[in-house]
Amino acid sequence: MSLFRRGPNGPSGPSGPGRVTVQEAAARTGHAQVGDGSGAAVLLDVREPHEWQAGHAPGAVHLALAELAAGAALPASAQGRPVVVICRSGNRSRQAAELLQARGVEAVDVIGGLRGWAGAGLPVVDSRGGDGIVA
């Protein structure tokens, strides 16, 4: 059974990747205190490097959408795993999830992006591990 079988907009598949709420993303990636407990998915941040350095979810991996679109491979820690894609607001992550699905990767995007993540009280750290901001 797929970790991403259903999202708020229905099943993922030929019609496009599913979308998940911030709370679902946190549960699927192990960031939530409670949830399904799987933590099997990797959180992939597709924002630009300066945005990533200003603030990102702890444990997330980074690959800018432009690099992904140019054919870059997923970071090693994300390969062979379901991917939850996040950006600032949800637009770039939707595009990235579509690109990844076209490559055969199980991918969903986060509705509301990192703004929603931070707004829900989930942690954001900067490139040095201190308190980060959503840039």
Distance CA 9, CA 65 (A): 23
Distance CA 35, CA 74 (A): 26
63 burial (CB, 10 Å; 0-12 / 13-18 / 19+) is: buried
78: left (phi over 0), alpha (psi -120 to 50) or beta: alpha
Residues of the chain with pLDDT under 70: 1-16, 33-39
The contacts of residue 58 (CB under 8 Å, 6+ apart) are 31, 123, 125
pTM above 0.75, yes or no: yes
What is the pLDDT, as a whole number, of residue 16? 67
What is the pLDDT, as a whole number, of residue 18? 94
What is the pLDDT, as a whole number, of residue 32? 72
Sorted by where each begins, the domain ranges of the chain are 14-119
Catalytic sites, residue numbers: 87
Do 80 and 93 meet the contact criterion of CB atoms below 8 Å apart? no
> Could you say which of 3.30.450.20, 3.30.460.20, 3.40.250.10, 3.40.1190.20 is the CATH number of the domain covering 14-119?
3.40.250.10
